[in-house]
């Protein structure tokens, strides 16, 4: 348990954990809603009903909940003006995982935008 206590006491570890859990939650929501769309047809209400019954959607919500709890700890230890820009790392993680796991196409323009996001986060982290 000392390792967990040490990680929970490190604001950067908390930020990375919160952002990573949120990113994985996004992937679970996407794959769960894709599965729901496959059985729901054209009805938005049916899509939502099937979506809320998808285990991956429920898992995505669970990860969002854990991410939010960790984020509360981050906010108790860091200035918002420092912590909030770190959420942008989640964009990078989501695009990378979408490319890797969902086989989504990621073009040069999108990669360039992500590089700018990384530069901005690095600048904020150094401040």
pLDDT (tens digit, 9 = 90+) per residue, 98-112? 999 999 999 999 999
Average pLDDT of span 55-84: 94
Domain residue ranges of the chain, discontinuous segments joined by +: 2-126
DSSP one-letter code for 88 = G
User: What distances in angstroms separate CA 68 from CA 29, 79, 86, 107, 126, one per listed residue?
Assistant: 16, 16, 14, 31, 24
pTM of the model: 0.86
In this predicted structure, what is the pLDDT of residue 119? 94
The three-state secondary structure class of 43 is: coil
Tell me the per-residue pLDDT of 15-59, one tens digit each, with 9 for 90 and over: 999 999 999 999 999 999 999 999 988 889 999 999 999 999 999
Output the six-digit token pair for 125. 């982290």
pLDDT band per the 50, 70, 90 thresholds, residue 126: confident
């Amino acid at each position: 348990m000392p390792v967990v206590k040490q990680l929970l006491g490190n604001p950067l570890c908390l930020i990375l954990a919160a952002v990573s859990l949120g990113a994985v939650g996004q992937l679970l929501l996407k794959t769960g809603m894709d599965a729901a769309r496959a059985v729901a047809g054209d009805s938005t209400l049916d899509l939502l009903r099937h979506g809320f019954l998808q285990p991956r959607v429920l898992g995505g919500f669970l990860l969002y909940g854990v991410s939010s709890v960790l984020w509360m700890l981050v906010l108790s230890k860091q200035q918002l003006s420092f912590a909030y820009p770190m959420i942008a790392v989640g964009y990078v993680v989501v695009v990378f995982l979408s490319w890797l796991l969902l086989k989504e196409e990621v073009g040069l323009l999108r990669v360039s935008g992500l590089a700018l996001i990384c530069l901005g986060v690095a600048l904020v982290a150094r401040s």
